[in-house]
Every structure is written in structure tokens, then in C-alpha cells.
């Protein structure tokens, strides 16, 4: 089984999506908390500043009604009394007349705020004052009075809250992404362990089990249930295999003795009519014995015990030798065989089984490639795989039948009058699976038997 690249697996992991949603909720929660804190603190400070400005304006308005002094004089007297506020008395044309704040441009009526970085031309803030917030009032005489309070603490608070928010937000994001990565890595590691074990099981090793970490989590619970299912499946398969083996062994021995008895009887009774009967009976017994031999061979291959014999097999040399040895019978059948075998192909395997595999496929062409006059063997390396194609230009196998003919004892109508018992391709498929490969049929004009094997 080929696994996707880790980043792609990470993005497609369900655990990662859940972790990212949790991270998004955490960030949204942090944003909401800081928004509430910022709103509450800013409103509190702004309320205090606006209250002091509003009180000063009320005092000036009261003095104007009672003393009827010019607004400029009233402003100068108020500044002399102290209080920490800033005043700017502007004429009807917004020209500066009096005050401790120089504000020459026109300012809209109502509340306004200014910062040193965003102050408009003509505004000169006092030293160490970074921001002010004030109220513009138009007197009955047409003059304009701007009263402002020092909003530097409010600006500092805004900046502090913003920096704190960025720090906390960044920390949550960083630790959250780290947690997502670690969680995803652990999850993908468990899933890859399951996938590897299942691939080994699919290759025929029913004794393999999913790994447990004994943490009692959902992965362990799933592994326990799957392992119990695999144990039951292994028992059923072993029982079935044992029954098949027993039947094959038990029947092969009496059939072999029967064949020997028929051979002796043919020699004892040489009459031509009896000889034909004996020959027909012996041919039928040979076919039955061939079926049992093939079934036992398939059972042996599927058991996986032959993996212990794996060694380096020179695949290019083996295919070339088989192609050369099959050239005479193919020529006798009117089939020209050609090869395109990449040199130096090597794999780990059982050379005896691989020889039988390729011989079965070549026999299949010679016996069942009806109407074929050309056959070809192609072998090449692609990445970490070896791709083999045994092809002919005969009538082929219909697309809807290509998977079915790989099953045991399946023979198409066109092949029923020819030798065989429907176990050649299933045996080939079992040998390929034993070596960790895959076998499939294809081809539009003719038949392609396509095999993919691991290189090494």
C-alpha cells in the first residue's frame, strides 16, 4: 500500500480538522474576551475624561451667564485656576484668540479626539501629551470653544491591551498549531500502523494483528474488535484450507492407485476397444489429479510459508530464458513471441514459484489465445516497482469477464473444449500476492496480463 505524503495526510486527517476547529473556537473566545475587556476599559476611561470636560464647559457657561465677561477672558481665568485641561478660544472664523492649546483649523462641533501621529495641521499638543479628547462648543456670540482632556493614558491603555491581545493570540495560535501537529502525527502514526498491518493481512498473513498501545482509547477499542474479527477469520480460513488439503490428499492417493491399476489392466487386456476405454479413463484421472495438485499448490502458496525461501531473483535473466525455451512450441502453434525486457531487474522472491508463474502465463497464451499470431513479454522498472506485461493479439477476454476468470474453476465457454481446469490464473494470482504484487487483466485487442511486483 502506498501512503500519501505526510503534509497531504495531515490536511485530510479528521483528527486535524477537529483540532483546528477547537483552535478556531479558542481563538474566537480569546478575541471575544479581549474585545469585552477593551470595550469596558476604554468606556470607563472615556467616561471619566468626558465627565471632566463636560464639567469644565458647564462652569464656563455658568460664568458667562453670571459675569458676562468675554469668552477669551473667561478662558484665561479658568486656565489660571489650573485643572489640567486644555482650552482653545476660536473666533467665528476659527482664528485662535486665547487658551493653552493651539488649534487653528476648523473642528466640527461635538466630541473629537486627536493623536500626535494623526493630528491635523495647525494642532500643537503640549509636551508629553500624545493624545487629547475634547468637545467643541459654539457660543451665542459665534465664538468657538474647544475644551480637551489629556487622553494619553487612554491611548496607552489601548496600546497595552492591543499588545497583550497579540501576545496571547499569538501564543494560543502557536501552541494550538503545535498541538494540532503533534496530535495529527500521533493519529497518523496509529492509522499508518493499522494500514501496514492490514496490508500484510491482505497479502495473506492472517496471523498479523493490529497494534495495541493499551491506552483504552478509541483506537485500542477498534483494534481489539478488528483483531477479534481477524482471529475468527483466520480460524475459518485455516479450517477451510485444512478441509481442502485433506480432501486433496485423501482423494489423490486412491486416484493415483486407481490410475496404476488401470495402467496394469491395459497391459493385461490389450484389446483395442478396451485400450481406448483405458486411455480415456486414465486421461480423466490425470485431469482430476492435476486439479488436486493445483489446489494443493495454491493452498501452499496462500499459506505464506514460502516467504522464508525468498532470495534475490534475477528477473531479467529468468524471463529471457523462459521466452527462449517457449519459442519452439509457440512457433509450432503459429505464434511469434517477442520481448522487451529491461536488463538488470532484480527482486526478492521464490525463484521456483516465479518460474511457475511465468510458465503458467505463457502456457495460458499457447493454450487459450485463440486466433493469436503474436505474443510479447514486456518488463521494466518504474520507481520502486517492476511492471510486467504478458500480451497476445488473440480474441482476448471480455471486460466484464476479466475479474471472474481469476477465480478458481472459472472457464469461459470458448475454452471448455481445450485442456485445463480453471486454476492456472488463480495460482498465478496467489503467487503474485505472495510476493507483495498485484495481477490484473486488460487489453482491448487481445489480452494483457499486467503484473506489478516490488523491486529490490
**What average pLDDT does the segment 187-197 reach?**
83
Q: Is a pLDDT exceeding 50 seen at residue 212?
A: yes
Q: Is pLDDT above 60 for 154?
A: yes
Give the pLDDT confidence of 156-178 residue by residue, as tens digits. 888 888 888 888 888 888 888 88
CATH of 305-454, one of 1.10.287.3510, 3.40.50.10860, 3.30.565.10, 3.30.70.890: 3.30.565.10
Is residue 24 over pLDDT 80? yes
Would you state the pLDDT for residue 188? 79
Question: pTM of the prediction?
Answer: 0.49
In this predicted structure, the answer to whether residue 310 has a pLDDT above a threshold of 50 is yes
Specify the CATH number of the domain 218-303: 1.10.287.130
Query: What is the predicted pLDDT for the residue at 86?
Result: 86
Q: What is the pLDDT of residue 2?
A: 46
Instruction: Inform me whether the pLDDT recorded for 135 exceeds 80.
Output: yes
Residue 175: per-residue pLDDT: 85
Kindly tell me if the per-residue pLDDT of 320 is higher than 90.
Answer: yes
Query: Hey, which residues does 340 pair with through a beta bridge?
Result: 378
For CATH 3.30.565.10, the residue range(s) in the chain are 305-454
**pLDDT given for residue 1 in this prediction:** 43
pLDDT digits (tens, 9 = 90+) for 116-128: 555 555 566 666 7
> Between 3 and 385, whose confidence is greater?
385
Residue-wise pLDDT for 333-346, tens only, equals 899 999 999 999 99
- In the chain, CATH 1.10.287.130 covers 218-303
Amino acid at each position: 500500500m502506498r501512503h500519501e505524503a505526510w503534509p497531504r495526510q495531515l490536511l485530510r486527517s479528521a483528527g486535524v480538522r477537529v483540532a483546528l476547529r477547537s483552535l478556531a473556537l479558542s481563538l474566537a473566545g480569546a478575541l471575544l474576551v479581549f474585545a469585552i475587556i477593551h470595550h469596558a476599559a476604554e468606556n470607563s476611561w472615556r467616561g471619566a475624561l468626558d465627565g471632566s470636560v463636560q464639567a469644565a464647559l458647564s462652569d464656563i457657561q455658568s460664568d458667562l451667564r453670571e459675569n458676562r465677561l468675554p469668552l477669551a477672558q473667561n478662558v484665561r481665568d479658568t486656565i489660571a485656576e489650573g485643572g489640567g485641561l486644555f482650552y482653545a478660544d476660536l473666533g467665528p472664523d476659527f482664528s485662535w484668540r486665547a487658551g493653552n492649546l493651539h488649534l487653528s483649523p476648523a473642528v466640527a462641533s461635538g466630541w473629537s479626539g486627536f493623536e500626535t501621529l494623526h493630528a491635523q495641521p495647525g494642532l500643537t499638543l503640549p509636551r508629553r501629551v500624545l493624545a487629547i479628547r475634547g468637545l467643541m462648543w459654539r457660543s451665542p456670540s459665534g465664538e468657538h470653544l474647544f475644551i480637551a482632556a489629556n487622553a494619553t493614558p487612554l491611548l496607552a491603555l489601548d496600546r497595552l491591551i492591543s499588545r497583550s491581545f497579540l501576545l496571547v493570540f499569538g501564543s494560543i495560535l502557536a501552541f494550538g498549531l503545535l498541538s494540532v501537529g503533534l496530535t495529527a502525527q500521533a493519529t497518523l502514526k496509529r492509522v499508518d500502523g493499522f494500514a501496514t498491518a492490514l496490508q500484510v493481512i491482505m497479502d495473506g498473513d492472517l496471523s498479523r494483528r493490529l497494534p495495541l498501545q493499551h491506552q483504552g482509547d478509541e483506537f485500542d477499542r477498534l483494534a481489539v474488535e478488528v483483531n477479534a474479527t481477524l482471529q475468527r477469520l483466520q480460524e475459518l480460513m485455516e479450517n477451510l484450507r485444512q478441509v481442502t488439503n485433506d480432501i486433496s490428499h485423501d482423494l489423490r492417493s486412491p486416484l493415483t492407485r486407481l490410475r496404476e491399476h488401470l495402467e496394469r489392466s491395459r497391459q493385461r487386456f490389450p484389446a483395442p476397444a478396451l485400450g481406448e476405454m483405458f486411455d480415456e479413463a486414465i486421461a480423466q484421472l490425470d485431469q482430476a489429479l492435476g486439479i488436486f495438485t493445483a489446489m494443493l499448490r495454491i493452498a501452499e502458496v496462500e499459506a505464506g510459508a514460502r516467504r522464508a525461501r525468498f532470495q534475490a531473483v534475477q528477473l531479467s535473466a529468468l524471463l529471457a530464458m523462459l521466452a527462449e525455451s517457449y519459442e519452439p512450441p509457440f512457433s509450432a502453434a503459429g505464434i511469434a513471441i517477442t520481448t522487451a525486457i529491461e536488463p538488470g531487474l532484480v527482486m526478492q522472491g521464490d525463484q521456483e514459484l516465479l518460474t511457475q508463474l511465468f510458465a503458467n502465463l505463457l502456457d495460458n497464451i499457447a493454450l487459450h489465445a485463440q486466433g493469436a499470431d503474436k505474443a510479447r513479454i514486456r518488463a521494466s522498472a518504474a520507481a520502486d516497482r517492476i511492471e510486467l506485461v504478458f500480451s497476445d493479439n488473440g480474441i482476448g477476454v471480455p471486460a466484464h469477464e476479466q475479474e471472474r476468470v481469476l477465480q478458481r474453476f472459472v472457464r469461459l465457454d470458448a475454452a471448455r473444449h481445450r485442456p485445463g481446469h480453471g486454476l492456472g490464473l488463480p495460482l498465478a494470482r496467489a503467487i503474485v500476492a505472495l510476493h507483495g504484487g498485484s495481477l490484473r487483466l486488460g487489453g482491448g485487442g487481445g489480452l494483457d496480463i499486467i503484473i506489478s511486483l516490488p523491486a529490490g
